[in-house]
Structure 1
């Protein structure tokens, strides 16, 4: 497994864990009724910024720890190199992420226009589509590194 594949795998696992924690956190608020009323929007906004900030910190720490552990176990150091193929894979992955998120955003606006869900839940739906887009982008990138093109 190449360093790029490991990096994508660690990113995928970190994303899944962070969103799992966020989902569990938001489910608790929803069950407690904390998302009802005008404070619900503020709670969603604060929780989202905590998710983003925490996600960045956790991702950096996990990548560093994984690199250190991998170097200790294999007794080998691989320098970080990105070539044109890596940039192409990043661009293809980013296209998929933007496509999936744009679709999710349009679905969320349609749900809001049809008054199917409460506006607070539509914000959570947008965050959910951000998560799904990131996971699909990482899976596509992993597929490309495994010999997809």
Structure 2
């Protein structure tokens, strides 16, 4: 298994663990009461901002740990360059990932148009961000294994 395949698997697993653990941490903090209160908007705003911050920091830490473990176990350095195949796979994964997020964004806007509660919009946006991240990692793994 190549470095890129292992990195994609680690990214996939870490995305699931980060999102799942953050969701389990934040779920009990959901405010009771009216759905359109200021407290609810504060909750969802802080949920999204903190998820972004926690996710970025956790991915950086996991990437560093992965590179250390990879170097110790294989006695090789991680590749410092990306060839044409790596760039092409990255572009394909980003394109599909962005497409998934845009579809989720459109669904979130439709939920507002059809008079769904505003928290439905936030849930759809958060889910589409999570799914787009998963889709990007799965796409990279698929293309590194099967080719472009």
| TM-score above 0.5, yes or no | yes
Residue in 2 that maps onto 1:119: 118
Distance in 2 between the 1:64 and 1:19 partners?
A: 19
User: Deviation per CA, 1:30-66, whole angstroms, max 9, x where unpaired?
Assistant: 3x52784211111211121111111111111111111
Task: Please name the residue that 1:55 is paired with.
Answer: 55
Counterpart position of 1:6: 6
Aligned residue in 2 for 1:144? 143
Moved over 3 A (4+): none
Instruction: Quote the Cα distance in structure 2 between the aligned partners of 1:121 and 1:70.
Output: 41
Paired with 1:99 and 1:91, the residues of 2 have a C-alpha distance of 12
Distance 2:75 2:34 in 1: 50
**CA contact 1:8–1:142 (8 Å) conserved in 2:** yes
Where does 1:38-77 land on structure 2 (aligned, <5 Å)? Answer: 38-77=38-77
| Structure 1: gaps (5+ residues) | none
Q: Tell me if structure 2 keeps the 8 A contact 1:71–1:77.
A: yes
Query: TM-score, with normalisation over the residues of structure 1?
Result: 0.88
1:61 and 1:68 mapped to 2: Cα distance?
Answer: 11
Matched, 1:84 2:75: no
What residue is the counterpart of 2:95 in the other structure? 95
Structure 1 residues 112 and 79: alpha-carbon distance in aligned structure 2, compared to 1, 3 A threshold: same
How large is the Cα RMSD of the aligned pairs?
1.8
Q: CA deviation at 1:11?
A: 1.3
Count of matched residue pairs:
147
